[in-house]
Homo-oligomer: A and B are copies of this chain.
Amino acid sequence: MPNIINKHIEFSTPWFKLIKKTVTGMSGANTSEEYYSILPDDYVSILAVTRDLKVPLVRQYRPAIEDYSIELPSGHVDQNETPEQAIKRELLEETGYMALEIELLGTLSPDTGRKSNRLWCFFSSKIEKHAEVGDNEGIIPELYSLSGIRSLMDKGSFDHALNLAVFTLAELKGKISFTK
Contacts and interface: CB of A to CB of B under 8 A. Distances in A.
Using C-beta atoms within 8 Å of the partner chain, give the interface range for chain A: 35 or more
A175 to B, nearest CB: 10
Report the copy number of this chain in the oligomer.
Answer: 2
Contact of A161 (B13, B63, B116, B119): B119
Interface string A72-113: 000000000000000000000000000000000011111111
A107 B156 contact: yes
Given A11-B11, A138-B2, A167-B168, A160 B108 contact: yes
A129 interface: no
Interface of A: 1-2, 4, 10-11, 13-16, 18, 21, 23, 26-28, 35-38, 40, 61-66, 69, 71, 106-116, 119, 137-138, 150, 153-154, 156, 159-165, 167-169, 171-172, 178-179
